[in-house]
Amino acid sequence: MLRYEMICVGAGPAGLAAAIEAAKNGVQVVVFDENDRPGGQLFKQIHKFFGSREHRAKERGFNIGQAFLDQARETGVEVTLNAVVLGIYENGAMNVMIGDQVKQVRAQKIVVATGAAENMVPFPGWTLPGVIGAGAAQTMANIHGIRPGNKILMVGSGNVGIIVGYQMLQAGSRVAAIIDAAPKIGGYAVHAAKVARAGVPFLMSHTIKQAHGKECVTGATVIQVDSSWQPVAGTEKEFEVDTICIAVGLNPTTQLLGMAGCKMTHVPTLGGRIPVHDLDQETTVKGIYVAGDVSGIEEASTAIIEGRIAGLAIAHRLGYMDDGTFRKEREKQSQSMKGLRSGSHGERRAKAKEYLNAIMPAAI
Amino acid sequence: MRIEDHPVLGKFEKGQKVRFSFDGKSLEGFEGEPIAIALRSNGVLIHRYTARRNEPRGVFCAIGRCTDCIMVVNGQPNIRTCVEPLKADMVVETQQGRGPAKESEVSHA
Amino acid sequence: MTPDSSLTGFLTEEELKEGPGIPSAARRGKGPVAVIECLEDIPCNPCESSCKAGAIVVGEDITQLPHLDGDKCIACNTCVHNCPGQAIFMVDESLPGGRATVMMPYEYRPLPAEGDGVIALDRAGQVLGDATVIKIRQTRRMDRTATITIEVPKKWSMRARAIRLKT
């Protein structure tokens, strides 16, 4: 059995940040990722990020991703790709399938940074070729350089829906409309303004009734919903589109944590069932930490800070950092986080995280 | 469908141009890109028909999770084409239901 | 009543009028000046940190709105390509003959050429009419956000916020 001081599951922004922070302080770290390239979803993020200089604001996601990979290399973080963690067992034991071989490994500390999966909304025709997740649209256009479709209906007006809508315009597709059953646009106003002035209409209080087409999507019917989310007969609108893109939120990928016995709780603001964790990102199972979307759906920039906090806490617990330094460093990250979890979009997430942290006070 | 000049990403780096077969037709794609991308660039959206209702399915998640895009590749069924890299001379076929059974699974009773 | 931006996605002139990032008509008449169309408390301050003239202030709490001091703005254009929300424009109403220029961030392809005729669009993407591209800037530091400056009738200076290429 291979032994490590720290294993990180997931090489996205949260996992890499945790690994780098720990490795910088002397911890021996390996990161497993099931994909054939590291960076998680960062390399699909081609827009400039918000925040301030310390959050790398105005830099594009994929450039931040590249900087992370460089830093991981410099700090001696070992990243193993095509590595699927099958299970986390007692005392930090883990089965990981690398290529087609299953290996047993053990770590003193584990960071689970497995991210999130997309939510779905079922409707007649939703299985037709041409109905895709917003993430799929992003992957096709920004990684593989192909337009998912020529004319797109976007379902969901959160930041993902609007940003991917904008990216579809950049890819050369037309966006017929962005619809949302919610009464108000969910994403940032500046993102919405960007696509609105490109001529993309927003249809709020509208849901998709049906996708049309026999072999693949040829159109869609959308319908208005009332204040109790019921369709209003006679308000149907037809769109001639070849692609319907679904961006109705994300849910944390928590299976590994569930099987490891971490206590879970339901926090709708953070995307549903999430692991209870303290200020240091440690779960109810000692030695297992979480960071990023798996610990509650937020953003890449907040995921990075959570990762850093987990990395610092692990360096501290393993004796690579004294109490005073740890407290100081953690405070610095908390302050940086406070900036991102404020304002009308961030406040609700800040409250939800406070609720979690109140359930489980930090170790020091 | 390919993006020639992206405002942020410029030109996409791709492998060598290769030919592969799709349901008997010879198509072109780039080596190393997912099979699904090469298919889409040739206008192919239907990857398979479901076992019970014979309904068409195509790419849905594009990251190897949902398995909606599985096809028969080089005779092997259930290959996730959104993550399987394209190689020269690959034989890609629309999957019908669960795909062709392996010899070991065929009942000779 | 026109529906507000939380329904349509675009800010109305009514919503923008009181915005702390909008320079006065008098200032706009003196020469190019930043117009910051950011009215939501999102955590973001690259406009402030990229302003060498100290004309934009967000403050310690980065969710506060950017405040513009039009008299300090030297129209260096840095904020236009640095704003991650592409919410800053540069407007010049000092041109003779009732003309004005509007500079906007642009992240699409193909880029028009200087001298090209284009169609000016308003915040809703509705056609205003013909405009001429007078300047295109794209440097390494701008990190793939080009800026396009168009000349329009002065009455569109606070309305023209996008373009559509002809043909």
Calpha distance A46→A64 (Å, rounded):
10
Identify the pLDDT of residue B102.
Answer: 67
Alpha helices in chain A (DSSP H): 13-24, 61-74, 134-138, 159-170, 189-196, 255-260, 300-317, 323-340, 343-359
* CATH number of the domain enclosing A165: 3.50.50.60
B23 to chain C, closest Cα gap in Å: 35
Residues of chain C whose beta carbon is less than 8 angstroms from a beta carbon of chain A are 5-11, 37-46, 49-50, 61-63, 82-87, 107-109, 121-126, 143-145, 161-162, 164
A238 is a domain residue:
yes
User: Nearest CA of chain B to the CA of C50: how many Å?
Assistant: 21
Across the interface, of C8, C108, C144, the residue whose CB is closest to A169 is: C108
User: Contact at 8 Å (CB) between B40 and B47?
Assistant: no
Give dist(CA A308, CA A68) in Å, integer: 12
* Residue-wise pLDDT tens digits, B61-84: 999 989 999 999 999 999 999 999
Size of interface B-C (CB pairs under 8 A): 10
Q: Does B109 have pLDDT greater than 60?
A: no
CA A282 to chain centre: 19
- Give the distance from residue B41's alpha carbon to the nearest chain A alpha carbon, in angstroms: 7
Contact A58 C124 (CB under 8 A): no
Q: Are B88 and B20 in contact (CB under 8 A)?
A: yes
A303 with A233, same domain: the answer is: no
Could you tell me the residue ranges of all domains in chain B?
A: 17-97
Contact C43 A199 (CB under 8 A): no
Residue A231's DSSP bridge partners are A225
- A28-43 per-position pLDDT tens digit: 999 999 998 899 999 9
- Among A217, A246, A275, identify where a domain stops: A246
pLDDT at B41: 97
* Exposure b/e, A230-269, CB count within 10 A at least 16 = b: ebeeeeeeebebbbbbbbbbbbbbbebbeebebebbebee
A105 and A137: one domain?
A: no
User: Mean of the per-residue pLDDT values for chain A?
Assistant: 96
What is residue B72's predicted lDDT score, i.e. its pLDDT? 98
A193/C44 CB distance under 8 A: no
Q: Does B101 touch chain A (CB under 8 A)?
A: no
* Contact assessment for residue A220 and residue A153, using Cβ atoms and an 8 Å cutoff: yes
Chain C residue numbers with beta carbons less than 8 Å from the beta carbon of A60 are 143-144
Tokens of A284: 């109810």
Rounded-to-integer distance, Cα A339 and Cα C47, Å:
16
Residue A144 to residue A175: CA distance in whole angstroms: 20
At A357, the pLDDT band (50, 70, 90 cuts) reads confident
**Do A112 and A136 share a structural domain?**
no
Mutation site, B2, B5, B6, B46, interface A, largest A CB count within 10 A: B6
Distance of CA A247 to the CA centre of its chain: 13
Q: Are strands C99-106 and C146-153 parallel, antiparallel or unpaired?
A: antiparallel
Please report where in the chains the tokens 């791709």 appear, as a residue.
B14
Cβ contact (<8 Å) for B2 and A216?
no
Model confidence at A99, pLDDT cuts 50, 70, 90, reads confident
Enumerate residues 2 to 21 of chain B having a beta carbon within 8 A of any beta carbon in chain C: 5-8
Yes or no, beta carbons of B60 and A146 under 8 Å apart: no
Q: What is the pLDDT of residues A277-294, one digit of tens each?
A: 999 999 999 999 999 999
CA-wise closest residue to A210 among A120, A136, A128: A128
State the Cα–Cα distance between residues A150 and A229, nearest whole angstrom. Answer: 30
Residue A79 pLDDT: 96
Q: Does residue A234 sit in the same domain as residue A128?
A: yes
User: A125 to chain B nearest CA, in Å?
Assistant: 10
How many whole angstroms from its chain centre is CA B58?
9
- Residue C1: per-residue pLDDT: 54
**pLDDT value of residue A363:** 73
Task: Give strand pairing partners of A153.
Answer: A177, A244
C23-31 long-range contacts (CB < 8 A, ≥24 apart) are C23/C68, C23/C70, C23/C73, C23/C91, C24/C70, C25/C93, C27/C70, C27/C71, C27/C73, C28/C70, C28/C91, C28/C92, C28/C93, C28/C94, C28/C157, C29/C93, C29/C94, C30/C94, C31/C75, C31/C92, C31/C94
Q: Where are the beta strands (DSSP E) in C82-126?
A: 88-92, 99-106, 117-121
* Mutation site for B-interface testing, chosen from A45, A100, A140, A241 by largest number of B Cβ within 10 Å: A140
Query: A363: which 2 tokens?
Result: 């170790």
Is C84 in Cβ contact with A58 (below 8 Å)? Answer: yes
Q: Which residues pair with C164 in a beta bridge?
A: C119
* pLDDT(B105) > 70: no
Looking only at the bridges linking them, the beta strands covering A101-112 and A2-9 are parallel
Distance CA A55, CA A74 (A): 20
Residue B89 has what pLDDT? 98
Residue of C nearest to B3 (CA): C109
Chain B's closest residue to C111, CA to CA, is B7
At residue A360, the pLDDT reads 85
Of A159, A147, A217, nearest in space to A188 by CA = A159
Q: What is the pLDDT of residue C167?
A: 77
Residues of C with CB under 8 A from a CB of B: 107-110, 144, 146
C107 vs B contacts (CB less than 8 Å): 7-8
Residues in chain C, pLDDT under 50:
none
Contact B8 C110 (CB under 8 A): no
* B13-37 confidence digits (pLDDT tens): 999 999 999 999 999 999 999 999 9
Cβ contact (<8 Å) for A135 and B61?
yes
pTM over 0.90: yes
Sorted by where each begins, the domain ranges of chain C are 5-165
A364 belongs to a structural domain: no
* Disruptive mutation site among A190, A202, A348 for chain C (greatest number of C CBs within 10 Å): A190
Chain A residues with at least one Cβ partner in C under 8 Å = 47-53, 57-60, 63, 169-170, 172, 178, 183-185, 188-202, 204, 339-346
Q: Which residues of A touch B (CB under 8 A)?
A: 35-36, 46, 60, 117-118, 127-133, 135-136, 139-142, 144-148, 170-172, 215-216
- C-alpha distance from B45 to closest chain A C-alpha (Å): 6
ipTM for the complex shown? 0.97
pLDDT given at position B28: 98
pLDDT digits (tens, 9 = 90+) for A334-354: 999 999 999 988 999 999 999
- Position A361 scores a pLDDT of 78
Please tell me the class of the B17-97 domain.
alpha beta
Token couple for A42: 């960062």
Do A144 and B65 make contact, defined as CB atoms within 8 angstroms? no
Helix (H, G, I), strand (E, B) or coil at A68: helix
Number of folded domains in chain A?
Answer: 2
Q: Which domain holds residue A185?
A: 120-246
Q: Chains with ≥3 Cβ pairs under 8 A against A?
A: B, C
Q: Do A200 and C162 touch (CB under 8 A)?
A: no
| B59 neighbourhood in chain A, CB within 8 Å | 129, 132, 136, 140
How do the residues of chain C divide into helix, strand and coil, expressed in percent and rounded to 5?
15, 30, 55
Of the three residues A199, A228, A246, the one that is the final residue of a domain is A246
- DSSP letters for C114-162: TT-EEEEE-TTS-EEEEEEEEEEE--GGGTT-EEEEEEEEGGGTTT--E
Judging contacts by C-beta atoms under 8 Å, the chain C residues touching residue A188 are 40, 42, 85
Q: Give A326→chain B minimum CA distance, Å.
A: 38
The arithmetic mean of pLDDT across residues A41-52, rounded, is 95
Q: What's the confidence (pLDDT) of residue B104?
A: 62
Q: Per the CB < 8 Å rule, is C86 touching A185?
A: no
The partner residues of A91 in beta bridges, in order of sequence, read none
State the alpha helices, DSSP H only, in B3-108: 35-41
Are C125 and A196 within 8 A, CB to CB? yes
